[in-house]
């Protein structure tokens, strides 16, 4: 029994420290977060989908195919003042740059956080202005993309030329219209499923076992009303440490998928 005493005492200290850290972490929620116009992720996320990457090579991007051990962290639905700053703190601590797909209305709402994302060297993609469910070409798509570009431009920020459709919902006509508007469509190869309110351990499990060279990982740096992303935020540091230990290097999407102009040297 004496041998167990130090273990029990140590365990108690760990529990207390964990509780204190968690209370000071990203558990706080916005009182009235801006809603996602298309509704909650769980109600809209497509299960089956056409293999758009094969239909539109170079326009629809899920992962790079080379042997280099690179991986891209991507965060959707920001910015906000609750979760996004914690994600940024961890990325800065680890010296990692990521890609953030921002919602234009939230850029207008939390401009200071959007500016911080750009100032700290992260890449910013277009995730529409109000997060409607856009699956096909429409005048609304052009309006949503343009309004977000304008919201970013007011802060002196240019987007990176990548568009991520809300909910990952896209049909061929949407891909073609986005291309006509100057965008490549960035999907992902690994979904953390953090929008389900998963724990830190569950998010890590959903990512760690599926990473391969060229993976694009999807997490969220903000959510809809009532969504709890604290587990996902807490997992970011672990994901970085685990993949770094495996020899992976973190890159932004423009680094993983250089534009054709840059590839040709023009």
The CATH T-level fold of domain 63-255 is TIM Barrel (3.20.20)
Query: What pLDDT shows up at residue 226?
Result: 87
Query: What pLDDT shows up at residue 47?
Result: 36
Query: What pLDDT shows up at residue 67?
Result: 93
Of the candidates 40, 76, 112, 127, the residue annotated as catalytic is: 76
Query: What pLDDT shows up at residue 171?
Result: 94
Q: What is the mean pLDDT of each run of 10 residues along the chain (266 residues)?
A: 43 40 44 57 49 93 94 98 98 99 98 99 98 94 98 98 96 97 98 97 97 98 93 99 98 95 49
- HSE, side-chain direction, 13 A CA sphere, residue 137: 9
Assigned token pair, 71: 């991986």
Give phi and psi for 78, each to the nearest 5.
-80, -175
C-alpha distances in angstroms, 227 versus 47, 159, 160, 241?
A: 20, 26, 27, 26
Contact predicate 124/186, CB 8 Å: no
**Is 131 an annotated catalytic residue?**
no
**Is 122 an annotated catalytic residue?**
no
Q: pTM above 0.85? A: no
Of the candidates 86, 122, 131, 220, the residue annotated as catalytic is: 220
Sign of the C-alpha dihedral computed for residues 253, 178, 120 and 195 taken in this order: negative
* 3-state DSSP helix/strand/coil % of the chain, to nearest 5: 45, 15, 40
């Amino acid at each position: 029994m004496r041998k167990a005493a130090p273990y029990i005492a140590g365990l108690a200290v760990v529990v207390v420290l964990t509780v204190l850290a968690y209370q000071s972490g990203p558990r706080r929620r916005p009182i009235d977060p801006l809603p996602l116009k298309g509704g909650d992720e769980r109600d809209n996320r497509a299960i089956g989908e056409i293999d758009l990457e094969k239909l539109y090579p170079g326009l629809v991007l899920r992962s790079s195919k080379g042997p280099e051990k690179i991986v891209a962290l991507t965060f959707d639905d920001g910015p906000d003042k609750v979760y996004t700053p914690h994600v940024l703190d961890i990325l800065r601590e680890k010296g990692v740059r990521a890609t953030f797909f921002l919602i234009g209305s939230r850029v207008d709402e939390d401009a200071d956080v959007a500016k911080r994302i750009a100032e700290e060297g992260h890449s910013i993609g277009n995730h529409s202005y109000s997060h409607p469910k856009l699956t096909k070409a429409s005048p609304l798509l052009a309006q949503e993309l343009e309004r977000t570009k304008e919201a970013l431009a007011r802060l002196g920020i240019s987007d990176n030329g990548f568009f991520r459709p809300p909910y990952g919902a896209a049909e061929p006509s949407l891909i073609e219209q986005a291309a006509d508007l100057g965008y490549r469509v960035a999907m992902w190869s690994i979904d953390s499923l953090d929008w389900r309110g998963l724990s830190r351990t569950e998010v890590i499990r959903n990512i760690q076992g599926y990473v391969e060279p060229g993976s694009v990982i999807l997490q969220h740096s903000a959510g809809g009303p009532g969504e709890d992303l604290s587990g996902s935020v807490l997992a970011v540091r672990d994901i970085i440490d685990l993949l770094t230990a495996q020899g992976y290097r973190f890159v932004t999407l423009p680094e993983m998928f250089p534009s054709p102009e840059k590839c040709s040297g023009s």
